[in-house]
Amino acid sequence: MIGLGFLTMARRLPGLIRQALGMAWRASPRDTLATIALSLLGGVFTAFGLLATTGVLTALFEAGPTPDRVRAALPSLLLVGAAATVRTVLQAGAGWAQARLGPQVRRIAEQRLYELTSQVDLVSFDDPDFHDSLQRAQARGMQMAGTVVYTAIDTISGVVGIVAAAGVLGVLHPLLLPLLLLAVLPDAWAAVRSARMGYAIDLRLVPARRRKWIVSDLMADKDTAAEVRTFTMRGFLLRMYDSLAQSEQGVLLGLARRQTYTRIVGEALGGVGQAAVYVALGVLLAVAAVPLAVAGTAVLAIRSAQASLANFMYATNRLYEEGLYFTDYLEFLAEAETRVAADRTGKAPAGFEQITAEDVTFTYPGAEKPALVGVSVRIDKGEVVALVGENGSGKTTLAKILAGLYDPDGGRITWDSTDLRGVAPHLLRHNIAVIAQDHTRWPLTARHNITMGMEKGEEAVVQAAEVAGADEVIAELPYGYRTLLDRRFKDGQELSGGQWQRIAVARGFYRDAPLLICDEPTAALDARAEHALFERIRRHADGRTVVLITHRLASVRYADRIYVLDHGKVVEQGTHAELITVDGLYADLYNLQARAYQSSS
């Protein structure tokens, strides 16, 4: 914060203005050009009006009858009025074009952010640094894009006004320019110091405000509402929130006191500066260095410059503070672009006879130990292959690599002879369907929760729902497939965990891809529904390849091949019978589960 002075601000302003105007130009070249051009023309007519005022004052201060002086001043007075009218029209036009820019800038800022967040490698979302950068960009940076454009244009307008007034003073008398500095510098100092205080307090309050937001979210969120009541946490959370709010209030009251003191000092110094201006003008008049009419115009020009400076400093301070958040947004975009996979020209295979993982290794960002170490598996067309193991063994990680969601750090995945590293991931994923345990409960209609934007006709939707058993769920909904599955909206419905699981299974079946990956697809189902679903998967898998991940080993007895993972390595493989005979980790886990269902003697 020591370096956050006026010179630091001055050095950063051109870059911020250039970035803001660049985004405005991408949003709408016409409105950007109109805003800047009309603002510049407004400054020109401001200067013209001030110079015309000199003619008015000169005519009025001449010797002679008053009617004659008024008639002599009339042409100049008409010019002043015309200049004021034109300036008002130009400023209104600039304001209209500027107001049009805001929504357009916000749209392209949001669009660019979400283009990248939906395109970066999935592993980025396992990187804490990426989440921090995304949080800063999304929470404040993206929202500041439109505001930064506004304030950049306001800054330019303020500069135009100051230059117009300074130009008039230079034309009237060169010695009048230093008087402008005496009149405006105290206000500039006070504005910079006040803004510096405000930004310092904002930085100081970031952790407390984040905690306050979290606590408020706990009291107002649907997911936590039940436990807040079950554990009678209302009073505890309110006390915590009030403590944070009081602490923030105390800091802000202290800031208000210091900023008020700074403004008083600035205004006092400004008063001294204005007094010096009038004394200097008096001296110039006394020695006949300037005519009385010129002195009057100089006063008006200095007043105009003060108003323009006030607008300039306000816009500058806002631009600098908002620019810090806007920079977070720009830096995130630059970082996210480096996380987007390079263009791959290889065509995705339409199918396969065999999928092979060869000596695959993978480590999550920031993790000390690899999730997979030298894993090799083979999946033949039409097989049901199971991946089993304890929590953290690497089953889901391997499934995501097989699905093309992660690129392995070492080794390779091939579909027949095609190495997936050369295939565009989005093309490959059309040939893969995934039924995930941690599936998303999309706030969409039941139909869209199954189709996910892929339209294959009504018959395909109904068939996928029937195979998954989701047709029974949908039959109970008030609007069938058109029912919105989110109770936060009018006429929306909520489903139980098991009902959502069936919708997610229907989503995977609807895709009808040659490779189906089922990651704990029955986690939220009861025993009867689980048995029925596995029977459906086996029937539906006729001619297709299924990779099944589950902790419930009774469900994998009929798999063609079972791979047992432990701490990221394949430690056993074979059929159910072969692995039971080996009497290793699989047999131990299977027998442990089997004994749980046996009645004690």
> What is the full DSSP assignment across 474-521?
HHTSTTGGG-BS-TTSTT-----HHHHHHHHHHHHHHH--SEEEEEST
pLDDT tens track for 371-413: 999 999 999 988 889 999 888 888 889 988 888 888 898 999 8
Of 244-258, 296-310, 508-522, give the lowest mean pLDDT range. 296-310
Structure tokens at 88: 């008002």
Of 1-15, 278-292, 416-430, 480-494, give the lowest mean pLDDT range. 1-15
pLDDT tens track for 529-566: 666 666 766 666 666 788 888 877 877 888 889 999 99
Q: DSSP labels for 514-558?
A: SEEEEESTTTTS-HHHHHHHHHHHHHHTTTSEEEEE-S-GGGGTT
Phi, psi of 345, rounded to the nearest 5 degrees = -95, -10
Q: Is 223 exposed, middle or buried (0-12, 13-18, 19+ CB in 10 A)?
A: exposed
Neighbours of 172 (CB within 10 A): 21
pLDDT computed for residue 38 by the predictor: 87
Per-position b or e across 422-453, b if 16+ CB within 10 A of its CB: ebbbeebbebbbbbbbebeebebbbebbbbee
Q: What DSSP state is assigned to residue 346?
A: B
pLDDT computed for residue 2 by the predictor: 42
pLDDT tens track for 321-368: 677 778 888 888 888 888 887 777 777 787 788 889 999 999 988 888
Helix 222-230, helix 176-220: angle, nearest 10: 60
Relative to beta strand 372-380, strand 354-362 is antiparallel
Structure tokens at 510: 């609807």
Radius of gyration of the chain (CA): 36
CA distance 335 to 601: 63
Per-position b or e across 250-261, b if 16+ CB within 10 A of its CB: eeeeebeeebee
Q: Among 54, 12, 273, which residue's Cα sits nearest to residue 155?
A: 12
pLDDT computed for residue 10 by the predictor: 63
Relative to beta strand 545-549, strand 372-380 is unpaired
What is the average pLDDT across 161-176? 74
Helix 176-220, helix 234-286: angle, nearest 10: 170
pLDDT computed for residue 69 by the predictor: 63
Per-position b or e across 49-67, b if 16+ CB within 10 A of its CB: bbbbbbbbbbbbeeeeeee
CA distance 526 to 446: 22
CB under 8 Å to 224, separation ≥6 — which residues? 217, 218
CA distance 429 to 419: 14
Instruction: Provide the mean pLDDT of the chain.
Output: 81
Of 168-182, 234-248, 421-435, 498-512, give the lowest mean pLDDT range. 168-182
Question: pLDDT band at residue 505, thresholds of 50, 70 and 90?
Answer: confident
pLDDT computed for residue 541 by the predictor: 62
pLDDT above 50: residue 439: yes
Of 343-347, 565-569, 590-594, give the lowest mean pLDDT range. 343-347
Who has greater pLDDT, 501 or 601?
A: 501
Neighbours of 192 (CB within 10 A): 21
Neighbours of 187 (CB within 10 A): 19
CA distance 441 to 40: 53
User: Does residue 225 contact residue 196 with C-beta atoms inside 8 Å?
Assistant: no
Question: pLDDT band at residue 600, thresholds of 50, 70 and 90?
Answer: very low
pLDDT tens track for 60-119: 566 666 676 667 767 777 887 888 888 889 888 888 888 888 888 888 888 888 888 888
Who has greater pLDDT, 475 or 593?
A: 475
pLDDT computed for residue 561 by the predictor: 92
Percentage of residues in the chain with pLDDT exceeding 90? 9
Neighbours of 175 (CB within 10 A): 16
CB under 8 Å to 564, separation ≥6 — which residues? 388, 389, 570, 571, 572, 573, 579, 584, 585, 586
Most confident of 8-12, 365-369, 479-483: 479-483
pLDDT computed for residue 377 by the predictor: 92
pLDDT above 90: residue 259: no
* Torsion, Cα of 535, 537, 539, 540 (10° steps): 160
pLDDT computed for residue 116 by the predictor: 87
pLDDT computed for residue 54 by the predictor: 67
pLDDT computed for residue 352 by the predictor: 85
Phi, psi of 217, rounded to the nearest 5 degrees = -65, -35
pLDDT tens track for 105-131: 888 888 888 888 888 888 888 787 887
Distances (CA, A) of 283 to 165, 166, 296, 391: 21, 20, 14, 88
User: Does residue 322 contact residue 148 with C-beta atoms inside 8 Å?
Assistant: yes
CA distance 245 to 34: 44
Q: What DSSP state is assigned to residue 469?
A: T
Q: Among 483, 423, 407, 420, which residue's Cα sits nearest to residue 450?
A: 483
